[in-house]
A and B are shown apart, each in its own frame.
Chain A
Amino acid sequence: MPIPFSAQVINMCAALLLLIAFAMLSQRRVLSLINLFALQGLILAVSTTVVAYSSNQHHLYYSAALTLLLKAIVLPVILYKLIHKLDIRWDVETMFNIPTIMLVGLLLVVFSFNLAAPISQMAGTITKSTLGIAMATVLLSFLMMITRSKAVPQVIGFLAMENGLFFAATSATYGMPMVVEMGIALDVLIGMFILGIFFFQIRTAFDSLDLAHMEKLKED
């Protein structure tokens, strides 16, 4: 049986998301990371719209609109403003061993495809094949958070992880109930504001947003 066109579009979106997750993993410029994050939000919104259209789930249109607004526009704009005010637009992070990190990332993808396989078989959604990719995105963002030592990239990793979870929700179940999705969006937005305040506090206290300065609280 040939795969319907909409499913092909969704699969392509999923592939793009995975690609972006890897790009984020190896991207050293803060500005480019934010661009990648905005692109990720856009693709997420597109794929949610296609799922909404092909499965006739009307509430998904709302969540696609919410995604577009929040993750492709509002959050990236806040991030741009932040790095502009903090004057770290052209910051380049020194990262070692990008090839090793990429290899670990590959292993994570294999792992998440295996973990997702039994669940995808049970899913009746048009998007079930993408659950593995959603999980891989979550794990790759997690890996990105671990390997970064600066505050802004860590936060972008955190937000990318949230994107991955959202994608998992649409691919396994056609999205969570609307109340819950609104609540999650609100949390993410408030969290972003608090982090914004927080960046300035950290900068005032440490003269830098490099978290390597934070080594005081350790068990000896």
Chain B
Amino acid sequence: MEIFWVLFIPLLGGLLLAVFGTHRNAPELNSLMSFATLIASAVLTTRVISDGSFTAWNEQFFVDAFNVFLVALTAFVGFTTSLFSRPYMRIEQHHGKLSINMLRLYYSMYQLFTFTMLLALLTNNMGILWVAMEAATLTTVLLVSLYRTPASLEAAWKYFILCGVGIAQALFGTILLYFAAEKILGAGGTALLWTHLNEVKGQLEPTVLSLAFVFLLVGYGTKVGLAPLHNWLPDAHAEGPTPVSAVLSGLLLNVALYAVVRSKVLVDGALGTHFAGNLMMGFGQLSVVMAAFFLSRQKDVKRMFAYSSIEHMGLMTFAFGMGGAVATFAGLLHMTVHCLTKSAIFFAVGHAAQQSGTQLMDGIRGLIKTSPSVGWGLALGTLAILGMPPFGVFTSEFMILTTAMHAYPWTMPFLLIALGVAFASIFGQMQRMVFGETTGKRLPHPPALIPVFVHLALVLMLGLYIPPYLADWYRQAAALIG
């Protein structure tokens, strides 16, 4: 029943906002629906904490420690982003960039996008997982091209085609998975259910599964933004409206990585080797290195942070690839803190770009003078994402790097150099944007910065102290993933 509400509320929200999206209070309705989703997912979470994992509706849905934590995170960031988008979209409308009908499209698609992500997380069926991932692309394509500028249309086209082709590979992987499963579980509805597959994973045909995993990794990896399939990501992040960049970076990438990790569990069980892990480590490391070097050459602030997302997703993929209790724990923690920090940065960057009238970093100066809260938000967020000590990103990166140092010492030079390059370039750019002579104007509506500081406070807390139930939760999830 809890699952029903978690999925039904955003779906209903999408339909309601498609009808009432032009109303004056549509932003409030949007936030209200996101808040209701958050409540529903909180109820679901408490049930999983007290009762443990369970399935529902003929086993079509499935909740365990791993996905419920992502459901809670998705609902939370979905809610804070809806709070941020309220003044942000009003300012965009004030600047004449968006018409009222575009706003209706935005609100409606925002809710439907949340729905597809939650569906992808909660479904037990690997086929429906694919359908939901594809639907998540479809709902965001028109959001990326919301401004209808040539650059945004190009970005959306690239996003659609690259992710479409990528996800088609994942479909082929799913077909191969079904092919292997059908031999053991028999034809019909149950052969794609993850819980059933997980029980018989030792008997699945290893050659077919290894081929299936290659396709699944390439397919869902395109959506994670793994190099060399990351081309769509910086464009889509830079050209879409900022709330969309925040949810793409903070949530969609996590959900895609979730799909990869779920597949990895099955393949590991079938193969009994580290084949899947090695592939993920390779792709992850390539992404970290490549993103760091591209990042240093960016002029657009949102593009720069988009590359930083590629870097962090690469690091998480690397951590899950290494496997083992510590690395997986760190990977999960990194998923949480990166999601919170990156969305906070995008919120601050969005308002900074509105003040300066440009996304180019050369045009953004002296934020701390025009609007101290935006300036501090960006400065602290940047320090957090770069892995400076008291913040949670430091904890997770430290755990990932120390594990890698023991298990795979040869990866160290690549990872450390990449992190160093990323640090130097982002830190330098941040300093110039935050301090210096100001060029900005005041905003017509007061910016919404509560979400920024709530996110950063949470990240700070996770760096200093992980509550015991949360740590327990990560450990349980890590044990499931292995």
Listed in ascending order, the chain A residues whose CB lies under 8 Å from chain B are 57, 115, 118-119, 122-124, 138, 142, 145, 151, 154, 158, 161-162, 165, 168-169, 172-174, 176-180, 183-184, 186-187, 190-191, 194-195, 197-198, 201-202, 204-206, 211, 213-214, 216-217, 219-220
Is the CB–CB distance between A158 and B164 below 8 Å? yes
B141 close to chain A: CB less than 8 A = yes
Contacts of A206 in B (CB 8 A): 150, 153
Does B148 contact A183, Cβ atoms closer than 8 Å?
no
Of chain A, the residue at the smallest CB distance from B181 is A173
Shortest B294–chain A CB gap in Å is: 7
Asked whether A168 lies within 8 Å of B172 as measured between CB atoms, the reply is yes
Given known A-B contacts A162-B168, A180-B125, A198-B141, A216 and B151 have beta carbons under 8 A apart? yes
Q: By CB atoms of chain B within 10 A, which of A168, A177, A178, A194 has the most? A: A177
Q: Contact string, B107-148, partner A, CB cutoff 8 A, digits 1/0?
A: 000000000000000000101101100110010011001001
Q: Give bound CA distance, A123 to B176, whole Å.
A: 11
Interface of chain A: mostly helix, strand, loop or mixed: helix
Q: In chain B, residues 228-244, which have Cβ atoms closer than 8 Å to a Cβ of chain A?
A: 235, 239
B171-183 interface code vs A (CB 8 A; 1 in, 0 out)? 1101110110011
- Total inter-chain residue pairs, C-beta < 8 Å: 130
Residues of B within 8 A of A213 (CB): 150
Partner of A179, one of B127, B161, B205, B211: B127
The reply to whether B128 and A183 contact each other, CB–CB distance below 8 Å, is yes
Q: State whether A177 touches B127 (Cβ < 8 A).
A: yes
Q: Is B157 an interface residue (CB 8 A)?
A: yes
Contact indicator B161/A154 (Cβ below 8 Å): yes
Some 28 contacts from A to B, beta carbons below 8 A apart, are A115-B211, A119-B179, A119-B207, A138-B172, A142-B165, A151-B157, A161-B165, A173-B175, A173-B187, A174-B187, A176-B127, A176-B178, A177-B192, A178-B189, A180-B125, A180-B128, A183-B128, A184-B130, A184-B171, A187-B131, A191-B134, A198-B153, A201-B148, A204-B148, A205-B149, A206-B150, A211-B157, A217-B154
Q: Give the shortest distance, in Å, between A150 (CB) and chain B (any CB).
A: 12
Q: How far is the CA of A191 from the CA of B168 in the complex (A)?
A: 13
> Please, how many angstroms separate the alpha-carbon atoms of A43 and B208 in the complex?
28
B189 partner residues in chain A, CB cutoff 8 A:
177-179
In the bound complex, residues from chain B placing their C-beta under 8 Å from that of A220 are: 297
The answer to whether residues A190 and B138 also contact, given A211-B157, A219-B294 and a CB cut-off of 8 A, is yes
Give the complex CA separation of A206 and B128 in angstroms. 37
Chain B: interface secondary structure? Answer: helix
- Please list the 9 inter-chain residue pairs (A to B) with the smallest Cβ-Cβ separation, ordered nearest first: A180-B127, A183-B131, A214-B154, A187-B134, A177-B189, A172-B179, A205-B150, A173-B179, A169-B175
Complex Cα distance, B174 from A215, in Å, reads: 34
Name the one of B157, B164, B187 contacting A191, with C-beta atoms under 8 angstroms.
Answer: B164
Name the contact of B160 in the complex, choosing from A169, A183, A195 (C-beta under 8 A): A195
User: Cβ of B3 < 8 Å from any Cβ of A?
Assistant: no
Interface digits, B44-71 against A, CB 8 Å rule (1 contact, 0 not)? Answer: 0000000000000000100000000000
Considering only CB atoms, which chain B residue lies closest to A204 in the complex?
B148
Whether the pair A186, B149 counts as a contact (CB closer than 8 A) is: no
Number of interface residues of B (CB under 8 A): 49
Q: Quick one: which of B135, B157, B176, B294 contacts A172, CB cutoff 8 A?
A: B176
* Interfacial chain B residues near A177, Cβ < 8 Å: 125, 127, 178, 188-189, 191-192
Contacts of A118 on B, CB cut-off 8 Å? 207
**A174 to B182 Cα, complex, angstroms:** 10
B178 near A119: Cβ-Cβ < 8 Å: no
Cross-interface CB contact of A145 among B145, B151, B165, B188, cutoff 8 Å: B165
Given A173-B178, A198-B145, check contact A183 B127 (CB 8 Å): yes
- Given A217-B151, A219-B297, A165 and B157 contact (CB-CB distance below 8 Å): no
- Whether B315 is near chain A, meaning CB under 8 Å from some CB there, is no
- State in angstroms the CA–CA spacing of A164 and B208 once bound together: 19
- Complex CA gap A201/B149 in Å reads 9
Distance, CA A204 to CA B164, complexed state (A): 24
Alpha-carbon distance A77/B26, docked complex (angstroms): 36
Give the complex CA separation of A194 and B135 in angstroms: 11
* Beyond known contacts A115-B211, A198-B142: 18 more, CB 8 A cutoff: A119-B176, A122-B208, A151-B157, A169-B175, A173-B182, A173-B187, A176-B127, A176-B178, A177-B125, A177-B191, A179-B60, A180-B192, A191-B134, A195-B160, A198-B141, A205-B148, A214-B157, A219-B297
| Bound Cα distance A145, B160 (Å) | 13
CB distance from B453 to the nearest CB of A (A): 33
B11 at the A/B interface (Cβ < 8 Å)? no
B131 touches A158 (CB 8 A): no
Q: How far is the CA of A219 from the CA of B191 in the complex (A)?
A: 44
- Taking CB atoms, residues of chain A closer than 8 Å to B183 are 122, 124
Q: Is the CB of A191 within 8 A of B138?
A: yes
Output the nearest chain A residue to B236 by Cβ-Cβ distance: A217
Distance in angstroms from B238 CB to nearest chain A CB is 8
Cβ < 8 Å to A, chain B residues 287-324: 294, 297
With a cutoff of 8 Å between Cβ atoms, the chain B residues found around residue A115 in the complex are 211
